[in-house]
Amino acid sequence: MYAILSIYPGTEIKVIYVDSKVANVETIDIFDFKLHAKCGGGTDFKPGFEYIEQEDIMPSCVIYFTDGYCDSFPEEPDFQTLWILTDKANFTPPFGEVIYMG
């Protein structure tokens, strides 16, 4: 994320921490690059996407870090979604692209 902020000056990244609900939201930029993860467990993909819609956020894309152990998806959004998998779960989302870490 720091590289993105360095390449595109003036860009902000909104980080939405989601487990079974939105647990925390913070905005980071190149001058304040500190993350404060606050989640509890359980996974539901819908709350994060619902938050984006309710807050009228217009993202260029959404990058979703997950272990992939969830099958609760929202309707396909109007923006690109990249799923970053931290585990080799059998994960086939109905939209977006998947990248496996490690």
Taking only the tens place, the pLDDT of each residue in 12-62 is: 889 999 999 999 999 887 777 777 777 777 889 999 999 999 999 999 999
For the stretch 79-102, pLDDT in tens is 999 999 988 778 899 999 999 987
Can you tell me whether residue 88 is helix, strand or coil? coil
Q: How many structural domains comprise the chain?
A: 1
Q: E strand or H helix at 23, and its extent?
A: strand 22-28
> pTM score, two decimals?
0.85
Q: How far is CA 62 from the centre of its chain?
A: 5
- Bridge partners of 16? 25
